[in-house]
Structure 1
């Protein structure tokens, strides 16, 4: 069984933390507000694999990318096997939001050649990147941040 990953946009860490209990696309049971804009079941781990993506997109070294305080930072946790909500860096959100479709296609090819994604289909990765980029554009336009809901 693999790790489940949904990426979503929320106004802040406090609101994003609610998703740890309900899932990001479910309405908030306390406020009845609708769920967050979500890209479901990406299969993209928010730690190593997303760090590799950020390094490729920004040209920054992997160590620098993962040293960012918001890279995979725990926002909320329900238990030892999750679900958890972790943050995505503003730098990566900006890079995805500002990328052209052609640039995303090129990055997907390079990304598929990384150790973590060896053997992955670049076209499938590009499709996931297009979905994530669209979410990042929405988040950026709304002044929101991006998070990953993840569970075993």
Structure 2
């Protein structure tokens, strides 16, 4: 079994995080946690992720989005016990205005977010779509101890 790995340099963690486009967003309401798989686009110039939330009006996901003060977004790649990488960002969610979506956020999201299939995601009149910025306060990364020849990420 592999060890717990080693810290990534800050720049390498940010490159890995930016390259993924999907992960698990962990939300909370008092003492109750809720994690959801999510696609995101990361803008390194502003240290913000762009998230498009598609949900039912009374969904548990929407409720947790509205009550979470501090959230984490985790992304990872696992090949073996010694060959893996992960990055964890901690920060807060902020609703985006229509103008922010039109001027920069939608471009960041659709250029980088993984597995976004807009027509399917927007079908159905009972779904609500909202845009959020995940403002990253801290970003850390770890990796397995297997020799890595480059910083090119999948």
TM-score under structure 2 normalisation? Answer: 0.28
User: Normalized per residue, which structure has more helix?
Assistant: 1
User: Normalized per residue, which structure has more strand?
Assistant: 2
Bigger radius of gyration? 2
